[in-house]
Structure 1
Amino acid sequence: MSPFTPDQFAAVQKSNLNHLFALTNMAFDGFQKLTELNLQAARTTLAEGQENVQAVLAGKDLREVFAVQSNLGQPAAEKAVAYARNVYEIASNTQAELSRAVEAQYEQHNRNVQAFVDTFVKNAPAGSEALTALLQSSVAAASSTYQSLQSVAKQTAEVAKTNFATTAAAANGAAQQAAPRASKQ
């Protein structure tokens, strides 16, 4: 006798498809946010470029032209850091949503597997103790491996977040130091 009926199998497949569609929608939402950020950045860059060209052309002498040009460095660097921060936030938030959804799906799957193993053990014929023990230990080992991988993934995400914050702060500091030197030239 099979532990799964056709209706149960169909329900599992339907659940898996719904989960796949949910993950796909989350990924597309992240992609849409990134696309909107890129479009806004392009609009802003175009408008600022036009303003900068007009300011340079409005300069009466070379000194005014160089003064306008020297004032462009720091805002551009700050905007690049802000853009990178926004990209990171979108990617990080999307990854966190996907991770939560996958984790929830895994936990449900793990409960289903454990229920299957329990049912199998209860209905196992006499003399199959070794097989049932192997099945139970395999499920426990898989669960332990997943927990370890999940812990490593969370630690890696935290390290990446810390490294990004450090890099962004360093880039911002470098841009602020470069601006006074550029305006003196």
Structure 2
Amino acid sequence: MSIKPEEFAKSGFNFALFFANTAFDGIERLAVLNLAATRSAFEAYVSNLNALLGVKDVQSLVELHKGIAAPSIEKSVEYSRNVIAIATDAKEKIAKEVEVHVADTSAKVSGLVEKALASAPAGSEVAVAAVKSAIKSANDAIDGLNKVAKQAAEVAEASVSAATEATIKATTAAAPKAAAKKAA
């Protein structure tokens, strides 16, 4: 197996290009989401302002408040979910590519080391074994870090989802109570 330095450079360049394209894709998707959210918020603002101008009494104001609060919260939660989905998608694409890139590079480096060690002088078996052991330990450490990173990401995503759901429940339950207090 003959590996040339140009192959490592090309592999690194291709990885950097993939990373940049994935980042730009995520940024583009966030920009589209933000423009849509801004348009929706502006339209809701205009609609709510028109409705507010038509309020005749306190009871109508309380009803208007109830009608405005829930959709606003739902839109905010949906926006948050979309942002999380975009970030998660980009993270997963990059994580998969990193995994492939690390495995490929590790295989190439191991091949080079094996080739170099095969031509090691007699009596260097201990040094050869130490190098092989170090490579195996490094690969095991990388695998362990990848597993821990994936688990941490899953826990974070689950926490964000749970917090979002709790916020939705709390705000939808609190909105009618707050409106009732204002009416009193």
> What TM-score do you get using the length of structure 2 for normalisation?
0.91
Q: Distance in 2 between matches of 1:18 and 1:151?
A: 24
- What's the counterpart of residue 110 of structure 1? 106
Q: Distance in 2 between matches of 1:173 and 1:62?
A: 26
Q: Percent identity?
A: 31
Q: CA deviation at 1:70?
A: 3.4
What is the match of residue 124 of structure 1? 120
Q: Does 1:35 align with 2:31?
A: yes
Match of 1:168 in 2: 164
Question: 2:25 matched to 1:25?
Answer: no
Alignment of 1:126-145 (within 5 A): 126-145=122-141
**Matches of 2:51 and 2:6, distance apart in 1:** 67
Query: Under a length normalisation based on structure 1, what TM-score does the superposition of the two structures give?
Result: 0.90
Q: Which has the higher contact order (CA 8 A, sep 6+)?
A: 2
Tell me how far 1:66 sits from its aligned partner.
3.7
The count of corresponding residues between Structure 1 and Structure 2 is: 181
The CA RMSD over aligned residues, in Å, is 1.7
* Stretches of structure 2 lacking an aligned partner (at least 5 in a row): none
2:82 corresponds, among 74, 86, 99, to 86
Alignment partner of 1:71: what SS? helix
* 3-state SS of paired residue (2:83): helix
Q: Can you give the 5+ residue segments of structure 1 that lack an aligned partner in the other structure?
A: none
SS at 1:72 equivalent: helix
